[in-house]
Structure 1
């Protein structure tokens, strides 16, 4: 496996990687499914939803479980249930420490999330200054990302890197970047972007990940936690 020596920038997903919002998504979706006598959500289905923009994930859920509601109704239910719980989410092990470390080393960092701006603020506003550490933040509803170009397409990472290069007057290339992800669509998008991917799946997802080596194809590393990242190996 090759990996970039002297990483110039780090780009991060948010949900399930930096904060434990994936657990809240599961909890609230199970409440919706139970209303219609469906569910519970299992990881073989959930893994297909991770990293997708909200409308795409919602459409998949409605189709898979045969829910008798429209996407608009589904999203309204979700927003109502989730907004009650976002204030309880917290940083996952190693996440905040890693961000602080990269900041202290002067390595540009960007957040590239599929969450829209409203959800981003709902999930992070109570977490103090953690998200202020980022040099750039790109949300899934950024108008510069064309419709239908969410993960597994690389557009969100391309935009994040563009913002970093603009801020620092640099010309960092994707092959000098590390992308941090928890979901399969995100891993695919990070590879399509051309970066080295650090993949940190949810502990309960491991049983349904399939052939992780083939998916990474030598362009990344699978970790059980952000705490396990060997910074020296990447020149960080």
Structure 2
């Protein structure tokens, strides 16, 4: 298989030349364009998630030889979660080479966090199957770069941190309420309120409920800690 010019340029961006270019094409093929003769990237995504996890677990152990499991776990989660994968995908302009169906293209699929994160994991698996674990590890460490060293010592997500703050003060867990939903069905925008039983509240808006909840929790926690 001969790669197009844009995919050859993409190979340069990720630092890996495919001996089996069909793996790269499959990693970049979303389910919206799959067919009996064209496989999508879902199975590769499943594998890539595991390869990424192993690489990050090893990297964190080597980076901080004194950290406990309790310290390492939240750092690990921060580095492998979908948001982190999507962020790396944006940096290498993965969205520009995604193969999407018409509906996904019209709904802004090249910018969607979930699609980018999934394709990034599929790409990792494609490199792993093309050239083995060391090649996949080298690409991951190169693309994640300083994130590994700079990941916060306490990388707990904001919702967990807020719940622990409430528990330490014998308060019930915070609740998350959808205040508003705007935008079209294919690209909704959510406004979520994070609330404590004691009355404190903060709101945030994002393109997914999960991100809006995280942002609202972070805003409320910062307000509480600052008071």
Normalised TM-score (structure 2): 0.27
* Larger helix percent: 2
